[in-house]
Structure 1
Amino acid sequence: MSLTIKLFSQTILDFGCNLRKGFYIFVILFAGSVFANEETDMATEARIKAILSDMTLEQKVGQMVQGEIKWVKPGDVSKYFLGSILNGGGSHPNTNRNPREPHYGRGSNDKNASIQDWLDVADEVYLESIDKSRGGAGIPIIWGTDAVHGHNNVIGATLFPHNIGLGAANDPELLKNIGEITAKEVAVTGIDWIFAPTVATVKDNRWGRTYEGYSSESDIVGRYARQIVEGIQGDDINELRSNPAKLISSAKHFIGDGGTYRGIDQGDTVLSLEDLLKDHGQGFYKALEADVQTIMASFNSWNGDKIHGNEQLLTDVLKTQLGFDGFVIGDWNGHGQVDDCTNRSCPSAINAGVDMIMVPEHWKPFLKNTIQQVRDGIIPISRIDDAVSRILRVKIRAGMFEKGLPSIRAYSGRSELLGSTDHREIAREAVRKSLVLMKNNDILPLQPNTHILVTGDGGNDVGKQSGGWTITWQGTGNTNDDFPGATSIFAGIGEAMELVNGSAEYSDDGSWIKKPDVAVVVFGEDPYAEGQGDIPYLNDPDNESTKQIFKKLQDEGVPIVSILLTGRPLWMNSEINSSDAFIVAWLPGSEGGGVADLIVSDKNGDPRYDFTGRLSFPWPKYEVNLKDEALAVDEFILPLGAGMSYKTKSTLPNYLSEKSSVVSEDVADIIFAGSTREPWKTYVGDINDWHRLVSSGVGKTQNGDLRLDIVDGNVQEDSLRVSWDKGYESQFYWQADVPADFSKMEEQGGALVMEFMINKYPEGTVTQRMDCGWPCRGEIDVTEFFKSIPLKQSSKIGLSLSCFKKMGVDLKKITSPLVLVSKDEFSITFSDVRVVVDHLEENTIQSCDTGLTPVVIN
């Protein structure tokens, strides 16, 4: 592939790179389709033309639709001619079935699904797709999955460090190996297409997807993008067809997802076209050089316009000027965010250049509406033909017409490859190379013949060290039992210490059986993914327990080695000051032994490996931009590229200011916002067990009369549906281990504010409580209130805290801010619940005296 790059004063498509000698603007000059193959594959194009000429409109539009396995039932693929399916994050085949029930469709989602279960789904949809008996064109379906740090939806797979750690490793060849391994493990389950790599350039670390980016610098992102695409697809496009270990790759998300205002997920990136391409284009340029076959459109807007509906970027820039001849895949209902669109209908996205629409649930009405829009001339048939040609081109290049049944392919069912020793060793190497040593007062490496305490809530938790996009979408609801073959950080340290005649013990609270010579404190962010991971400031608000551990260890004179698990650089001045050594481990994945490789010495007391990881993001000096909170932090204690080895000294000051720069404004206690927030936990209960913890967001009471489900609201899986069947009295509630004090909020006019939607009106009495340690409580009958709300329409209500106080609640010791009780059919979905003060519309605050009147919101 040849690429002509010339220095030019006027730009058509420009990107910049900051070199030591200055800033240069480059322009890519195209002669035809630069990023396509050198010689057009005339046979492929003729084949596309022949297939297309025989297709009906219904068959063509079907190829452009991708449904999710929970909402695609057996028979749908052949009936509606679907071109693709996906399994979203945390979506798995169905195993809770009798032999006659399908592996997918309603009821699907058992994270313990076996390799055979995955293959059964792949076979079933494949056979339907090539079945011409129901009027189909016989075009094989492709299945896509988010394998973003290994085959992360499948239990037992190798889990690599998330991209932020790989950015610190600064080893492009390692990235290629990781791409190769990921493709092989995905191929074991019969899946054809990987939604990776993410090539976002992250400019504001408050973004909840920061850890999916390699760096804040576009040139670093670019160095990695080509390598991982080649690892997944092969060194040239022909290998994708000929090598069964190679799969289709997707560079995402085009474009600017890492540059949104305030780091808000799916927000607005405000830049000129020149700066957009310069700051956020390098990863895509390099992925295109590697012949990436699909590119995923981004949720974000560019200067106020949703990219899913932006023809200038998707067609003029990406396809015409950059010469991309694969296809553009939409993101999860991303088309529905375009002006004048819904999840069920969006001609604007297709006309803008999205070739395949990811419409997980509402794909049937979308397909029907699109067909009609073509007939009505709203979508030109030429645009449909272009999109289908692109999809066919990728399927032909990937050998989909020749590969045959998924279960009989070369790597299918080879369970020995999933989490194999060789694969785990590469992941362990990646962990070693990704860790960044920021401070070491000669306490590391840990010496032979010593006793080590490993403590903190991350020390023995593979789920926490793996982060989001791990088995479940948000990475929550998992235990160590869900990671067979994996190694926690404690397990790795314990094994390494035994080899040097030392020992290790673990506690999550800093206690010990034998006083340690050194304590290794492992702490940091709990798992999260997009949307739910957005934060207002670069601090960890849930680290009080960690600070208590630090204090206990300092009081006892125990040296502290801190290991931070995080998806982004955080303001950690207090923790760094309190530590004798400080390491940022990012989100290392399943191979915690890689941490011990670095911090535990050999028998002679010398390092076994040195620290080579270097920061691919600068480390913040403050938790907020001091000049303008809307902007990203711009002052740092360590620059890009910083990091120690055992041979170098720390460049950190001896003492870092621990004074917070956050100006306290509103008082707020978030209970649920996309997920249950700390310190609250979700419970259900009935007469058999009133206190049943629901850690994953999905669960039910012992009698099964009350069920919780995670459902889509504004974004994927951001809402909690609570449903009662007629039967025993059952309750749903949030509760904290330590009582909360809402009394000062009440004095300031505080309220419990709920955003929700009624799915089914109550058929009996529904009561709402606020508890202060049973039987201390305040209770309101909300039956008629809920019946007065329009069905399936978002509503917002604020219940005055003084109302609950009048009903008997002691606001100084709230254990449960919201409890709902019923014994009859009723269903409600919560999208946001919080206790707040200030900045509320007055008419949303209801008191007990005025009755409860809903306020409808859009």
Structure 2
Amino acid sequence: MRMGFGTAGAVMALMAGTVPALAQTPAASAVANPAQWPALRMKLQRDPKVEARVDALLAKMSIEDKVGQLLQVDIASIEPRDLETYKLGSILNGGNSAPNNDERAPAPEWLKLFDAFYDASVKRTDGRPVVPVIWGTDAVHGANNIVGATLFPHNIGLGAMRDPALIRRIGAATAAETAATGIDWSFAPTVAVVQDDRWGRTYESYSEDPAIVASYAAEMVEGIQGTIGKDFMKPGHVISSVKHFLGDGGTGGRDQGDARVPEAVLRDVHAAGYMTALPAGALTVMPSFSSWNGEKMTGNKSLLTGVLKERWGFQGFTIGDWNAHGQVTGCTNEDCAPAINAGLDMFMYSGPGWKQLYANTLREAKDGTIPAARLDDAVRRILRVKVLAGTFEAGRPSSRPLSGKFNLLGAPEHRAIARAAVRESLVLLKNNGSVLPVKAGANILVAGRAADDIGVQSGGWSITWQGTDVTNKDFPNGESIWSGIRKAATAGGGTATLAPDGSFTKKPDVAIVVFGETPYAEFTGDRPTLEYSPEDKGDLAMLKRLKAAGVPTVAVFLSGRPLWVNPELNAADAFVAAFLPGTEGGGVADVLVAGKDGRPAHDFRGKLSFSWPKRLDQYVLNRRDPGYDPLFPIGYGLTYAANTPLAQLDETKPKVTAGDQNALFVRGRIAAGARFNSGGPLAQTRTDRNAQEDSLRLVWNGKGSGEAAIEQAMPIDVTRESNGQLSLIVDYRVTAAPTAPVTLGMADTAKTATVPLNGALVKGDWTTIAVPLRCFADQGLKMGTIVKPFVLTTAGTLGIDVSAVRIGSAPAGPVTCGVK
């Protein structure tokens, strides 16, 4: 991309493939040169009437009012009545936050809670301006927090469609379902250009190719917000937020990592989506948790102010990510003037200390640490967006045109859009012997643990943050892949039988095996290699059993990224990459199963939006990289008319050194670089749970204090996990009740922080406890230098078996700092 040319030229360069190869050498500077970035032609220009209204509001606001607008607080940390005193700019529901702490709260409860927050925000008797609060939510593949909503394929699948027009329709449907609950702001779209597929958020990226991302970003923004000059921010549309600015896809496969790339790569690759989304009128931008060349994006003035606001002319406001400001140099979660001064306009905060953040920011605004001009600029931007979005006229959430129309959730027309997206996103990688389409009248065996599991096919950000601990009942308007196949088989005059374990009595004509990754989101989704399911080869064993029995077998693979599946590809006659299709599993059958006329309703049209690895260590595998050698290149995808047989693949696994610090003790194995150590009057042996000696048996004899601990050879850093709502999770079984206090703790290099455990130690069957990492961080533990991530201590007698210790997302429901 030549410096200085406009949006059209930038996109043309992307489409033409002229973006330079992705040099991965570190660059010394984290200071951008805005003059080297293209100037964008924004459709949204300043309206004098809007500006005059904003200026009039600003002139009447107190400094307390202004500072309040800079805060967005998670609903788990604030009560509606707080907004009677603190006139905050926004609230949000974080990944695990919901009305009444119930992630399955029905839609009316969401609307009821927003009414309560809104009513408190507009209650004033002092004559100063009333500025209504707005509510932000992560509607990243539909209104995915709401039971009954339509969940569309995740972005990686949408990228395989190559259908920008359908993207716009998906954005509009998502906005309508979000608006039905009164919520007026969606943190979407994600326009990351992922370059290392180990990252747990790869599925939130449309593609490794910046041209594909650029072709989608504006369409999604206009679907969510409407089109400037036509239906922009009209009823049924909501505010969008383009994220995560900038370079989040280049952090080496690690969430909240560091993109060590030259400025040209940051501009020409990672900024591609912004160059179309911002001209389309995106009203907010979310700076990334991640860094660029060592500096946190949330504090990078050269990019937030120099490029985004001054060079590009962005008129909306920037909203921080989840407590991300606390990671900026010189900041804490409760005090961060440097982020505001760098160009952050609104903090996103979760935790009990939001009043401290308000007080510190107010103090800094009064003493000039935050200059008056910068404060006014931030508030002006927030007010401008609220005026443009119609916030002041919209009234109480429940009074808005689409509010309460809960029949929009999972509406037939929205489900039809989602089903079309599923069909278009399927990529056929193998069809040896033309096993597909499944012939009309066939006796079909449908197997695999994911065949009848809408949660697995939907992935992360589906009712719960990580997409875990959900059942088909949580998706009342959804359809599993099994259900869709059963209906298609019956319509074609055949039969379908569900057997998750692949067993059968009468040999089927064909087997469709549905398997893949279990749901995850950021933090827990990061992987050390690209090998599919290295610890559990049950899916492969099933494919091999069916092959040995002479059953033609179709593999339907669910994943949030391309993975090394050479053994599974070899064991299947046909292989379909379905990615994470969402709630409309019937779309899979539309392509795989023939009707009575002998033809399926639809052919395959999906093309890979990410290169598919030939080896498990091909983490960085992008078309412009030197030595590009994929198994299937980006753009690959067979059709029924164009089918190339796939030869036997190499199943050799190179030795790689990799580990996952979040899996501390799983399936009888201690994480690399750690050991399980016990001291004092404590016996440590092995016992069985799911496999031979896969669990620890710990027995204290009561003759003094004893400690069982996982000890790290080198300290590990769980700062990001602590900030991101993750918990220390232990799967255990009590064999002998305690006779003295028992504590569960973590230790840094200097101290140990503990929580009480006795109330959770009741003799019985296997169970799980989750203790939020913040429980230890709040005691002053240094989460960046953890040497003992698990410490279990008592001076009495106790018998306990432990089958797993990990850091992850807690199961659905309330979590506490221990149980007394």
CA contact (8 A) 1:624 1:633 kept: no
1:115-154 to 2 correspondence within 5 Å?
115-133=107-125, 137-154=129-146
One-letter amino acid matched to 1:56: S
TM-score by length of 2: 0.81
SS of residue paired to 1:50: helix
Deviation at 1:717, TM superposition (A): 1.9
> Alpha carbons of 1:632 and 1:416: their partners in 2 closer, same or farther (altered >3 Å)?
farther
Distance in 2 separating the partners of 1:632 and 1:307: 28
1:553 matched to 2:560? The reply is: no
Distance in 2 separating the partners of 1:405 and 1:667: 47
Distance in 1 separating the partners of 2:722 and 2:626: 25
Distance in 1 separating the partners of 2:463 and 2:620: 40
Partner of 2:630: 636
Deviation at 1:507, TM superposition (A): 1.8
Pick from 37, 49, 56: which aligns with 2:55?
49
Partner of 1:684: none
CA contact (8 A) 2:689 2:803 kept: no
> Alpha carbons of 1:800 and 1:619: their partners in 2 closer, same or farther (altered >3 Å)?
closer
Distance in 1 separating the partners of 2:758 and 2:570: 57
> Alpha carbons of 1:397 and 1:164: their partners in 2 closer, same or farther (altered >3 Å)?
same
One-letter amino acid matched to 1:327: F
Distance in 1 separating the partners of 2:49 and 2:418: 40
Deviation at 1:764, TM superposition (A): 7.6
Partner of 1:718: 726
One-letter amino acid matched to 2:201: R
Deviation at 1:72, TM superposition (A): 1.0
TM-score by length of 1: 0.78
Distance in 2 separating the partners of 1:313 and 1:363: 27
Partner of 1:602: 595
> Alpha carbons of 1:189 and 1:21: their partners in 2 closer, same or farther (altered >3 Å)?
closer
Distance in 1 separating the partners of 2:760 and 2:141: 44
Partner of 1:575: 568
Distance in 2 separating the partners of 1:791 and 1:302: 28
CA contact (8 A) 1:166 1:434 kept: yes
Distance in 2 separating the partners of 1:479 and 1:485: 13
Distance in 2 separating the partners of 1:655 and 1:264: 33
Partner of 2:709: none
Partner of 2:44: 37
> Alpha carbons of 1:226 and 1:587: their partners in 2 closer, same or farther (altered >3 Å)?
same
CA contact (8 A) 1:214 1:220 kept: yes
| Cα distance per residue 1:666-724 (max 9 Å; x no partner) | 79993479xx999xxxxxxxxxxxx999xxxxxxxxxxxxxxxx999533121137999
Structure 1 unaligned regions, length at least 5: 95-108, 679-690, 694-709, 732-751, 775-785, 820-825, 831-858
Partner of 2:381: 390
Distance in 2 separating the partners of 1:665 and 1:67: 37
Count of residue pairs brought into register by the alignment: 725
Partner of 1:354: 344
One-letter amino acid matched to 1:53: A
1:791-802 to 2 correspondence within 5 Å?
794=783, 796=786
1:235-246 to 2 correspondence within 5 Å?
235-236=227-228, 239-241=231-233, 243-246=234-237
Pick from 274, 279, 282: which aligns with 2:269?
279
Partner of 1:486: 478
Partner of 2:89: 83
> Alpha carbons of 1:460 and 1:513: their partners in 2 closer, same or farther (altered >3 Å)?
farther
> Alpha carbons of 1:449 and 1:764: their partners in 2 closer, same or farther (altered >3 Å)?
closer
Partner of 1:427: 418
Deviation at 1:604, TM superposition (A): 2.6
Partner of 2:79: 73
Pick from 499, 503, 507: which aligns with 1:511?
503
Using CA pairs under 8 Å that are at least 6 residues apart, name the structure with larger relative contact order, 1 or 2. 2
Partner of 2:407: 416
Distance in 1 separating the partners of 2:293 and 2:199: 18
1:364 matched to 2:351? The reply is: no
CA contact (8 A) 2:316 2:385 kept: yes
Pick from 795, 812, 816: which aligns with 2:803?
816
CA contact (8 A) 2:746 2:754 kept: no
Deviation at 1:661, TM superposition (A): 1.7
| Cα distance per residue 1:551-576 (max 9 Å; x no partner) | 22122111110010000000111111
Deviation at 1:623, TM superposition (A): 0.9
Deviation at 1:766, TM superposition (A): 11
Deviation at 1:532, TM superposition (A): 0.9
> Alpha carbons of 1:378 and 1:754: their partners in 2 closer, same or farther (altered >3 Å)?
closer
Deviation at 1:543, TM superposition (A): 4.0
Distance in 2 separating the partners of 1:600 and 1:567: 24
Deviation at 1:273, TM superposition (A): 1.8
One-letter amino acid matched to 2:518: D
Deviation at 1:434, TM superposition (A): 0.2
CA contact (8 A) 1:618 1:636 kept: yes
SS of residue paired to 2:722: coil
| Cα distance per residue 1:722-748 (max 9 Å; x no partner) | 999xxx9589xxxxxxxxxxxxxxxxx
1:476 matched to 2:468? The reply is: yes
Partner of 2:652: 659
Structure 2 unaligned regions, length at least 5: 22-34, 672-687, 691-717, 740-744, 767-774, 807-814
Deviation at 1:34, TM superposition (A): 3.6
| Greater Cα offset, 535-544 or 150-159 | 535-544
Deviation at 1:114, TM superposition (A): 1.9
| Cα distance per residue 1:788-816 (max 9 Å; x no partner) | x9775658455999x99xx9999xxx863
Distance in 2 separating the partners of 1:147 and 1:626: 28
Partner of 1:314: 304
One-letter amino acid matched to 1:85: I
CA RMSD of aligned residues (A): 4.1
Partner of 2:162: 170
One-letter amino acid matched to 1:249: S
Distance in 2 separating the partners of 1:659 and 1:808: 46
SS of residue paired to 1:117: helix
CA contact (8 A) 1:165 1:586 kept: yes
Distance in 2 separating the partners of 1:47 and 1:60: 16
> Alpha carbons of 1:115 and 1:660: their partners in 2 closer, same or farther (altered >3 Å)?
same
> Alpha carbons of 1:762 and 1:429: their partners in 2 closer, same or farther (altered >3 Å)?
closer
Distance in 1 separating the partners of 2:239 and 2:17: 39
Pick from 335, 342, 345: which aligns with 2:335?
345
Pick from 322, 325, 330: which aligns with 1:335?
325
1:247 matched to 2:255? The reply is: no
CA contact (8 A) 1:327 1:355 kept: yes
One-letter amino acid matched to 1:714: S
Distance in 2 separating the partners of 1:666 and 1:395: 46
CA contact (8 A) 2:747 2:781 kept: no
> Alpha carbons of 1:632 and 1:160: their partners in 2 closer, same or farther (altered >3 Å)?
farther
SS of residue paired to 1:520: strand
Partner of 2:715: none
Partner of 1:647: 641
Distance in 1 separating the partners of 2:790 and 2:220: 53
| Cα distance per residue 1:592-643 (max 9 Å; x no partner) | 00000000001132222100000011111111149999x9995301111110
Distance in 2 separating the partners of 1:123 and 1:677: 49
1:450 matched to 2:442? The reply is: yes
Partner of 1:17: 13
> Alpha carbons of 1:451 and 1:327: their partners in 2 closer, same or farther (altered >3 Å)?
same
> Alpha carbons of 1:421 and 1:271: their partners in 2 closer, same or farther (altered >3 Å)?
same
> Alpha carbons of 1:513 and 1:257: their partners in 2 closer, same or farther (altered >3 Å)?
same
> Alpha carbons of 1:330 and 1:238: their partners in 2 closer, same or farther (altered >3 Å)?
farther
SS of residue paired to 2:420: helix
Deviation at 1:482, TM superposition (A): 0.7
| Greater Cα offset, 290-299 or 370-379 | 370-379
Distance in 2 separating the partners of 1:763 and 1:502: 55
SS of residue paired to 2:423: helix
> Alpha carbons of 1:177 and 1:637: their partners in 2 closer, same or farther (altered >3 Å)?
same
SS of residue paired to 1:231: helix
CA contact (8 A) 1:711 1:718 kept: no
CA contact (8 A) 2:755 2:818 kept: no
Partner of 1:844: none
Distance in 1 separating the partners of 2:427 and 2:94: 32
CA contact (8 A) 2:4 2:37 kept: no
